[in-house]
Amino acid sequence: MHSSPSVPVPIKVLPHGEDLPLPAYATEGAAGMDVVSAEDVTIAPGARHAVATGLAVAIPHGFEIQVRPRSGLALKHGITVANAPGTIDSDYRGEVKVILINHGAEAFAILRGDRVAQLVLAPVTRASWLKVEELDETVRGEGGFGSTGGVVSLGS
């Protein structure tokens, strides 16, 4: 099986993250590394909190780290990343925090050391705008939200 080369990312463990594990892939085929909370916090229904991880990183130029929800937390408890996927830019050097939101009906307690999100290292392609008078034609054209189909039971 083909495996991608790893990209070294310098990581600094902050004092409140000293005894916690570094982000890690749970399985050989995992795209995201599980990251854990460096604090105890309870998130009320409808509330948000920037959960500390106790880590800071120096992402190589040309990459970002995407912060993504954990599917089990989302399905079982309604806990997700509020700005999913969140982006950590290569020039940011502060603490990595995970903005979680509770879409569930009950308060959700996070304990220090709980896995709260996934981190995905991804290459970044920068755009340059090319201003034009007209855009090329496509079959879809200007059809927007729902224009390519939708939920069968709604007849769209």
Work out the burial of residue 63: count CB atoms within 10 Å of its CB; fewer than 13 is exposed, 13-18 middle, 19 or more buried.
Answer: middle
Is 88 part of any known ligand binding site?
yes
Is 19 part of any known ligand binding site?
no
- The angle subtended at Cα 42 by Cα 41 and Cα 46, nearest 5°, is 130
Is 91 part of any known ligand binding site?
no
CA distances from 63 to 60, 92, 126 (A): 6, 12, 10
User: In sequence order, which residues have a C-beta less than 8 Å from that of residue 35 and are 6 or more positions away?
Assistant: 23, 53, 55, 96, 98, 115, 116, 117, 118, 119
**Hey, what's the torsion of the CAs at 122, 128, 129, 130, to 10 degrees?**
-130
Is 53 part of any known ligand binding site?
no
Q: Is 141 helix (H, G, I), strand (E, B) or coil?
A: coil
Is 89 part of any known ligand binding site?
yes
Q: Which residues are annotated as a binding site?
A: 70-72, 83, 87-89
Q: Which residues are annotated as a binding site for substrate?
A: 70-72, 83, 87-89
